[in-house]
């Protein structure tokens, strides 16, 4: 527990440190928090003075002055409260605005391994919901708690100063108040955590179902899914109601305790007044003090919870920021252009450090040549291209480009020269143009058109409503598979890479599109080193070298004729099964 406290403090310090760029806002809000206090407690004090010195003694002189003072204090108080609320909220918003960008930038640089292990929903929650909770640390947490504490102390101080007897009476009920507050704080904390977990569950469920809506509908699973959703929704509602329950109990209890205090005070205080131990002014001012005393206590419990939630959220966000699982870019070799020689020397690789999916792979590709990778599903073809671009680090062996270890290259410079067309084409929401240029300003509209013309995609893009400005919807769902593939080809070509890697999608398309795509592929691999995971015989036939993979091993290698001439060869088998049919068409 002690240690937990310690980490809370460290966390809090770290959260506060994020406000450093907004030092002036931070200082202003602390300053306001401190100077607001005397103004809020001044009002009952003035009332007491008026009652004792003017009203009771029937002295009109100076009364107007006091009344004026009262109004002035009131106005200053209101204006300062406004500034205080606004500035502490602005501080919170400024901090999280920066933090969102920081987290997003950080995530975009993480190794792909992180994304293999982390659900999408989690990363989204970190960048949006959790950061929102950090805002509360500033807007409702630290500084307002500080302000409340100062007010509490000041109120107690002035109460003691005015009448220690009445103060003592008020304090009779204090232990009940403390107890109620403590119980409330603990209970609400637990129920908040439940609410948050349920929100996360609900988000995850929704996100996955909406993404997979096609499957839900194809298999008529709407009813089952709705049932499942109902259950989650129910848990969420009851978690919410739980926390509402504590509020519903706590606030009336506080009312009750303060009413009892008030009653006690008036009863015992009136006795004191009659016995001349308490001034009448004090008796009038005390209910006002009481209000000033109980209000912060009531809200403090809630604010502590908010602070706690913010800290929990910040812990999660910091965990992401502390994850420095980048691919190290220690290489200094920045090249403008690669010749395109590729060598794999005895490369072994496992995604999880244990189960090797590539075992002692060696091959080499000479500049300008095409290497084709074939093999059954799961044999490791896509993995080979994943490690060439350093999406993942290899455990054993060496990968050389132009006879230099890929680790010696500056990562960005290396990736600039290698273009990859992935097996599952991913398009973002945005125009066709944006999807091709990826908003890289160095790539002009003309350049995009030129590349599209070059590989024969221009015609189909022009035919889309709006042409290059056609709005692609999320994941490219308003384009056909073949169209998406062509766009991804243009994307690869427009960057004019020295090495082109193509992971062909297996999906079969009609003969006409087939010809278009075949033409595009030929254009893509022309005059540059390329590695192609091919499912089309015509592509493979042109390759200078073909690797046949199985289970992470290279079974055979050679060109099309060589491999076909091996009577019991794997390629021969594959050819007979897969390609013979195609060629006979």
377 binds, among Mg ion, ligand ATP, none (CB under 5 to 8 A by kind): ligand ATP
Radius of gyration of the chain (CA): 36
Bridge-based pairing of strands 370-375 and 545-550 is parallel
**Between 169 and 357, whose beta carbon lies closer to ligand ATP?**
357
- Which residues, numbered 57-116, are part of the site for ligand ATP (CB under 6 A)? 116
Q: Which residues contact 571 (CB under 8 A, 6 or more apart)?
A: 374, 546, 548, 556, 563, 564
Of 116-124, 136-144, 255-263, 417-425, which part binds Mg ion (CB under 5 A)?
A: 417-425
| Least distance (Å) between residue 200 CB and ligand ATP | 24
Q: Does 485 bind ligand ATP (CB under 6 A)?
A: no
**Between 25 and 374, whose beta carbon lies closer to ligand ATP?**
374
Of 157-165, 177-185, 206-214, 370-378, which part binds ligand ATP (CB under 6 A)?
A: 370-378
Which residues does residue 404 pair with via DSSP β-bridges, in sequence order?
Answer: 401
Q: Does 53 bind Mg ion (CB under 5 A)?
A: no
| Least distance (Å) between residue 436 CB and Mg ion | 23
* Site mask for Mg ion (CB under 5 A), range 376-395, x = bound: ------x-------------
* Site mask for ligand ATP (CB under 6 A), range 420-439, x = bound: ---x----------------
**Between 192 and 349, whose beta carbon lies closer to ligand ATP?**
349
Of 51-59, 174-182, 371-379, 399-407, which part binds ligand ATP (CB under 6 A)?
A: 371-379
**Between 369 and 386, whose beta carbon lies closer to Mg ion?**
386
**Crossing angle of helices 222-274 and 174-211, rounded to 10°:** 160
Distance (Å, whole) CA 83 – CA 384? 60
Under 8 Å between Cβ of 32 and 257: no
**Between 141 and 380, whose beta carbon lies closer to ligand ATP?**
380
Distance (Å, whole) CA 484 – CA 178? 64
**Between 392 and 470, whose beta carbon lies closer to ligand ATP?**
392
Q: Does 550 bind Mg ion (CB under 5 A)?
A: no
> Which residue from 37, 191, 370, 379 is in contact with ligand ATP, where contact means CB under 6 A?
379
- ∠ CA 90-16-126, rounded to 5°: 80
**Between 150 and 501, whose beta carbon lies closer to Mg ion?**
501
Under 8 Å between Cβ of 329 and 379: no
Of 178-186, 359-367, 372-380, 567-575, which part binds ligand ATP (CB under 6 A)?
A: 372-380
| Least distance (Å) between residue 363 CB and Mg ion | 17
**Closest among 231, 224, 246 to 198, alpha carbons compared:** 231
**Closest among 540, 471, 530 to 502, alpha carbons compared:** 530
Of 132-140, 336-344, 423-431, 521-529, which part binds Mg ion (CB under 5 A)?
A: 423-431
Size of the site for Mg ion (CB under 5 A): 2
**Between 424 and 576, whose beta carbon lies closer to Mg ion?**
424
Burial bucket for residue 134 (CB in 10 Å: 0-12, 13-18, 19+): buried
DSSP 326: B
Under 8 Å between Cβ of 396 and 453: no
| Least distance (Å) between residue 385 CB and Mg ion | 9
Longest dimension (CA), the chain: 122
Q: Does 378 bind ligand ATP (CB under 6 A)?
A: yes
557 binds, among Mg ion, ligand ATP, none (CB under 5 to 8 A by kind): none
Of 179-187, 234-242, 380-388, 536-544, which part binds ligand ATP (CB under 6 A)?
A: 380-388
Written in H, E and C, the secondary structure of 381-408 is HHHHHHHHCCCCCCCEEEEEECCEEHHH
- Which residues, numbered 112-151, are part of the site for ligand ATP (CB under 6 A)? 116
| Least distance (Å) between residue 241 CB and ligand ATP | 41
Q: Does 357 bind ligand ATP (CB under 6 A)?
A: yes
Q: In a 3-state reduction of DSSP, which class is residue 370? A: strand
391 binds, among Mg ion, ligand ATP, none (CB under 5 to 8 A by kind): none
Cα 232 to its chain centre, rounded Å, is 23
Q: Does 383 bind ligand ATP (CB under 6 A)?
A: yes
Measure Cα distances from 569 to 233, 360, 376, 574 in Å: 58, 20, 14, 9
| Least distance (Å) between residue 548 CB and Mg ion | 15
How many CB atoms are closer than 10 A to CB 540? 23
Q: In the block, which residue shows the tokens 């390759």?
A: 543
Bridge-based pairing of strands 553-558 and 396-401 is unpaired
First-last CA distance in the chain? 75
Of 46-54, 67-75, 90-98, 376-384, which part binds ligand ATP (CB under 6 A)?
A: 376-384
| Least distance (Å) between residue 380 CB and ligand ATP | 4
C-alpha torsion 16→18→23→26, nearest 10 = -40
**Between 348 and 423, whose beta carbon lies closer to Mg ion?**
423
How many CB atoms are closer than 10 A to CB 21? 11
Q: Which two tokens stand for residue 475?
A: 């994941």
Q: Which residues contact 28 (CB under 8 A, 6 or more apart)?
A: 87
378 binds, among Mg ion, ligand ATP, none (CB under 5 to 8 A by kind): ligand ATP
383 binds, among Mg ion, ligand ATP, none (CB under 5 to 8 A by kind): ligand ATP
Of 19-27, 279-287, 379-387, 516-524, which part binds ligand ATP (CB under 6 A)?
A: 379-387
**Closest among 325, 304, 309 to 109, alpha carbons compared:** 325
**Between 122 and 423, whose beta carbon lies closer to ligand ATP?**
423
> Which residue from 70, 351, 363, 470 is in contact with ligand ATP, where contact means CB under 6 A?
351
Contacts with Mg ion, residue ranges (CB under 5 A): 382, 423
Q: Would you tell me which residues interact with ligand ATP (CB under 6 A)?
A: 116, 351, 357, 375, 377-383, 423
């Amino acid at each position: 527990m002690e240690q937990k406290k310690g980490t809370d403090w460290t966390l809090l310090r770290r959260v506060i440190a994020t406000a450093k760029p907004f030092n002036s806002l931070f200082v202003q809000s602390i300053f306001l928090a401190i100077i607001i206090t005397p103004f809020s407690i001044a009002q009952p004090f003035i009332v007491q003075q008026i009652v004792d010195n003017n009203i009771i003694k029937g002295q009109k002189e100076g009364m107007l002055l006091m009344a004026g003072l009262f109004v002035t204090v009131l106005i200053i108080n209101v204006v300062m409260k406004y500034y205080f609320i606004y500035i502490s909220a602005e501080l919170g918003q400024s901090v999280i605005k920066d933090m969102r960008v920081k987290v997003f930038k950080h995530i975009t640089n993480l190794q792909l391994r992180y994304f293999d292990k982390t659900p999408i929903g989690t990363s989204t929650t970190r960048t949006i919901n959790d950061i929102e909770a950090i805002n509360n640390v500033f807007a409702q947490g630290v500084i307002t708690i500080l302000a409340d504490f100062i007010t509490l102390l000041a109120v107690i101080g002035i109460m003691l100063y005015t009448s220690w007897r009445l103060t003592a009476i008020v304090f009779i009920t204090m232990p009940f108040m403390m107890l109620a507050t403590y119980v409330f704080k603990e209970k609400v904390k637990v129920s908040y955590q439940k609410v948050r977990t349920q929100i996360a569950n609900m988000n995850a469920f929704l996100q996955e179902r909406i993404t997979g809506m096609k499957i839900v509908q194809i298999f008529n699973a709407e009813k089952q899914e709705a049932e499942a959703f109902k259950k989650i929704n129910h848990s969420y509602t009851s978690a919410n109601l739980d926390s509402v329950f504590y509020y519903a109990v706590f606030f009336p209890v506080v009312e009750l305790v303060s009413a009892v205090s008030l009653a006690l005070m008036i009863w015992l205080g009136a006795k004191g007044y009659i016995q001349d131990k308490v001034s009448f002014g004090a008796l009038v001012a005390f209910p006002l003090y009481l209000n000033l005393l109980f209000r912060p206590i009531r809200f403090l419990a809630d604010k502590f919870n908010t602070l706690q939630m913010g800290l929990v959220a910040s812990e999660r966000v910091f965990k992401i920021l502390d994850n420095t699982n980048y691919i190290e870019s220690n290489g200094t070799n920045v090249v403008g252009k690669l010749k395109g020689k590729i060598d794999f020397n005895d490369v072994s690789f496992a995604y999880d450090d244990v189960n090797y999916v590539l075992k002692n792979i060696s091959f080499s590709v000479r500049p300008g040549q095409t290497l084709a990778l074939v093999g059954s599903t799961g044999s490791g073809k896509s993995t080979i291209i994943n490690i060439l671009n350093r999406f993942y680090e290899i455990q054993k062996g060496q990968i050389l480009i132009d006879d230099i270890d890929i680790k010696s290259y500056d990562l960005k410079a290396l990736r600039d020269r290698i273009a990859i067309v992935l097996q599952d084409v991913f398009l973002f929401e945005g125009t066709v143009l944006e999807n091709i240029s990826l908003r890289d300003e160095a790539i002009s509209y003309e350049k995009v058109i030129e590349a599209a013309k070059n590989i024969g995609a221009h015609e189909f893009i022009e035919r889309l409503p709006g042409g290059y400005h056609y709005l692609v919807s999320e994941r490219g769902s308003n384009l056909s598979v073949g169209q998406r593939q062509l766009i991804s080809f243009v994307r690869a070509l427009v960057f004019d890479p020295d090495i082109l890697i193509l992971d062909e999608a297996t999906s079969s398309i009609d003969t006409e599109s087939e010809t278009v795509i075949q033409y595009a592929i030929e254009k893509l691999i022309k005059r540059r080193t390329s590695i192609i995971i091919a499912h089309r015989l015509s592509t493979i036939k042109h390759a200078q070298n073909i690797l046949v993979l199985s289970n992470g091993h290279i079974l055979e290698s050679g060109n099309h004729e060589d491999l076909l001439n091996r009577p019991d060869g794997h390629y021969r088998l594959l050819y007979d099964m897969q390609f013979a049919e195609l060629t006979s068409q």
